[in-house]
């Protein structure tokens, strides 16, 4: 899925008001807190909790994915598909890493299965 080798590594937590924007893949070793945003042309991988806004495939790559140890974003965008958790939904506490991808034009979230 890594569409090329162009990847940056962010070795810290992104706090509210901070943002990372990159023309490739983004890997974050830390959390993405509410109020922070990550925008990538490729994939976004968060080795931590993703609670902020994330946009993968911002340049139009429909194969882009978002992976996080704890995937609870404020808003998740892949290409031009914008999703958010349903209003009033209980915080699903999945203990496993999850992956969000576009399947048949719908953003789908599943438990991450290494292949």
Pick from 33, 37, 50, 55: which binds other proteins (CB under 8 A)? 33
Cα separation, 101 vs 94, in Å, equals 17
The residue behind tokens 């699903």 is 92
- The secondary structure of residue 74, as a DSSP letter, is S
End-to-end CA distance of the chain: 11
Pick from 25, 31, 39, 42: which binds other proteins (CB under 8 A)? 31
Looking at residues 57 to 86 of the shown chain, list those that interact with other proteins (rule: CB under 8 A). Answer: none
Per the document, the length of the chain is: 115
* Residue 92 within binding range of other proteins, rule CB under 8 A: no
Q: Within 13 Å, how many C-alpha atoms sit on residue 5's CB side?
A: 0
Pick from 3, 7, 35, 81: which binds other proteins (CB under 8 A)? 35
Choose one: 32-40, 55-63, 93-101, 105-113; the region binding other proteins (CB under 8 A).
Answer: 32-40
Q: Which residues bind other proteins (CB under 8 A)?
A: 13-18, 31, 33-35, 49, 51
């Amino acid at each position: 899925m890594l569409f090329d080798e162009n990847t940056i590594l962010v070795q810290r937590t992104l706090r509210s008001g901070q943002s990372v924007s990159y023309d490739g893949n983004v890997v974050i070793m830390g959390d993405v807190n509410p109020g922070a945003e990550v925008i990538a042309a490729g994939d976004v991988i968060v080795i931590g909790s993703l609670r902020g806004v994330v946009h993968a495939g911002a340049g139009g790559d429909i194969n882009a994915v978002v992976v996080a140890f704890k995937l609870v974003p404020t808003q998740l965008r892949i290409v031009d598909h914008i999703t958010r958790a349903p209003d009033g939904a209980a915080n699903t506490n999945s203990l496993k890493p999850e992956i969000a991808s576009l399947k048949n034009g719908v953003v789908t979230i599943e438990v991450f299965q290494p292949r």
